[in-house]
């Protein structure tokens, strides 16, 4: 089993923070996100192309990870970026959780069209509408974390 983690830190003066854990077993990657400091409601969660959260606005992470060069859309539909994860729903306390399982990603594999290590997780201020190009009108980036191998 392979494991990875993305520790989410605030961007753009937000209070968003938390972690996204990844495990891979038998070719299936499971994502489990726990995020605090959000405004109540929907917030887009995406994988972005660069593992760089150094800029104030998290734009150093680049655009959505899109190795197949497809249109932005909703996960599992005909057209979507492999970085189009979905929306995390924050409760009245600003806490949200999200889970996903897929065979379209891998941890530490040699396939650059699947390997998510070294990419980043971005939490956005608004919901992904799954339609607007190129990023779903999800608003500014309020949280960023690099996807890194987890070593015990």
- Annotation says 64 is catalytic: yes
Options 46, 69, 79, 111, the catalytic residue? 46
Alpha carbons 38 and 152: distance in angstroms, whole number = 29
Catalytic (active site) residue 43: no
48 in catalytic set: yes
Catalytic residue (choose from 21, 43, 69, 72) = 72
**Of the residues 43, 48, 79, 91, which is catalytic?**
48
72 is catalytic: yes
Which CA distances in Å does 99 have to 15, 33, 71, 86? 21, 6, 23, 10
**Active-site residue, 79 included:** no
Selected catalytic residue, list 43, 84, 91, 111: 84
Q: Name residues whose C-beta falls within 8 Å of residue 16's C-beta, 6 or more positions apart in sequence.
A: 8, 10, 35, 36, 37, 38, 123, 142, 143
Q: Which is the catalytic residue, given 57, 64, 91, 128?
A: 64
Known catalytic residues are 46, 48, 64, 72, 81, 84, 124, 141
């Amino acid at each position: 089993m392979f494991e990875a983690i993305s520790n989410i830190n605030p961007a753009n003066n937000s209070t968003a923070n938390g972690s996204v854990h990844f495990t891979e077993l038998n070719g299936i990657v499971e994502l489990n996100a726990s995020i605090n400091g959000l405004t109540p409601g929907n917030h887009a969660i995406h994988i972005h192309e660069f593992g760089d959260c150094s800029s104030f606005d998290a734009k150093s992470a680049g655009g959505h990870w899109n190795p197949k060069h497809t249109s932005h859309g909703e996960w599992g539909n005909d057209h979507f970026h492999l970085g189009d994860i979905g929306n995390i729903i924050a409760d009245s306390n600003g806490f949200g959780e999200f889970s996903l399982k897929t065979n379209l990603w891998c941890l530490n594999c040699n396939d650059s069209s699947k390997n998510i290590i070294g990419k980043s997780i971005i939490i956005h201020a608004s919901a992904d509408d799954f339609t607007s190009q190129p990023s779903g009108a999800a608003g500014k980036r309020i949280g960023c974390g690099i996807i890194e191998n987890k070593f015990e």
